[in-house]
Amino acid sequence: MVFLFHGKFFVLKSVAHYQSTGLGFTHIYAYIIREVIDVYSFVYRTWVDRWFSLFIVRVFTSGVLVSVLRVITKAVYPQDASGLQKSANLYFSVSIVIVFICMVLYNIVHKLPIMKYYNELKVEAAAANGDSGPPTGAVWRSTLWDIVGSIKWYGFGIVLIYAVTLAIFPGYVTEDVHSQVLKDWYPILLIAAYNVFDLVGKSLTAVYLLQNTKVAIGSCIARLLFFPLFLGCLHGPQFFRTEIPVTILTCLLGLTNGYLTSVLMIMIPKAVKLQHSETAGIVSVLFLVFGLAAGSVIAWFWVI
């Protein structure tokens, strides 16, 4: 009875921790996107491509960092309770250091001359247009729905991207595929490959940015083909169950996820009026969260 009680308490505590982490991620990510769009698209709208691409790359570099840490701890520490504890200690130590550095930089960035310059220009432009403040009540709701209507197809693409990705990765990669050669290294290397190619995909927008909206959204729909392809790696011919096809598909999953996410996130602020770019960025994060939730639910079908 005591064991069951503590087990249930542990599960509830874990769920609560995940919920608080998700809420924190959504709040911080939406705030950062709002700040980036507000500063860089306000004066020089043509700069959004480069700045937003660099921003997205830096946000999702964390996946590569986590994979590097996992590979290091896997190679250095023994695979027992003590080794897992040391791995967790290293991970959280690095995380605390990075969070502290981010806190310091955040308090410094608003004091930079370039930030003060753009903030002054924003205030002057608002005064010139006679804006007394943000809209409220019915006007605000009407404006919000207009923004949602303008970016709904971009949001649909983002939902599809993350629904497909989260339905396959990381659950399928860590639970359903196995290698007699790589053994327990196999899922770790697959996750690392996904994160690296996801980062590469997000970086490619700095080299070539897809401008055609229909092609971008069509590419998001085409990613549904990953479902039968990965299903073939489970129940298809023997060749498709080997390491090479699974690794190639995982890399393509990460590459398309990174590139299309970056493309749509850059397109969204341009689809609305300049003064609404900030709100559009926040709405885009809501679409992203819906995609994450949908993908997590769909992932259960791999288990079933």
pLDDT above 70 coverage of the chain, percent? 71
User: Judging by beta carbons within 10 Å of its beta carbon (0-12, 13-18, 19+), is residue 250 exposed, middle or buried?
Assistant: buried
Per-residue pLDDT for 33 more than 70?
Answer: no
Q: Which of 19, 55, 61 is nearest to 38 (CA)?
A: 55
Per-residue pLDDT for 26 more than 60?
Answer: no
Give CA–CA dist 68/177, Å, rounded: 21
Structure tokens at 28: 């911080």
* pLDDT in the model for residue 187: 87
79-124: per-residue pLDDT in tens? 788 888 888 888 888 888 988 887 888 788 778 787 777 667 666 6
* pLDDT in the model for residue 28: 60
Structure tokens at 182: 């790589």
Displacement of CA 196 from its chain's centroid (Å): 13
Residue 179 identity (one-letter amino acid): S
Q: What are phi and psi of 135, to 5 degrees?
A: -65, 150
Give CA–CA dist 38/40, Å, rounded: 6
Structure tokens at 259: 């590139």
Give CA–CA dist 204/62, Å, rounded: 17
Q: Which of 137, 118, 115 is nearest to 126 (CA)?
A: 118
Q: Answer yes or no: are the C-beta atoms of 154 and 271 closer than 8 Å.
A: yes
* pLDDT in the model for residue 46: 47
Per-residue pLDDT for 222 more than 90?
Answer: yes
* pLDDT in the model for residue 3: 38
Q: What are phi and psi of 271, to 5 degrees?
A: -85, -5
Per-residue pLDDT for 142 more than 90?
Answer: no
In this predicted model, which residue has the larger pLDDT, 252 or 37?
252
Give CA–CA dist 51/272, Å, rounded: 18
209-221: per-residue pLDDT in tens? 888 999 999 999 9
Per-residue pLDDT band at 43 (split at 50, 70, 90): very low
Per-residue pLDDT band at 159 (split at 50, 70, 90): very high
Give CA–CA dist 145/280, Å, rounded: 11
What is the number of other CB atoms lying within 10 angstroms of the CB of residue 89? 11
Structure tokens at 274: 């300049």
Peptide bond into 170 cis (omega under 30): yes
Per-residue pLDDT band at 181 (split at 50, 70, 90): confident
Q: Give the single-character DSSP code of 276.
A: G
269-285: per-residue pLDDT in tens? 788 876 677 778 788 88
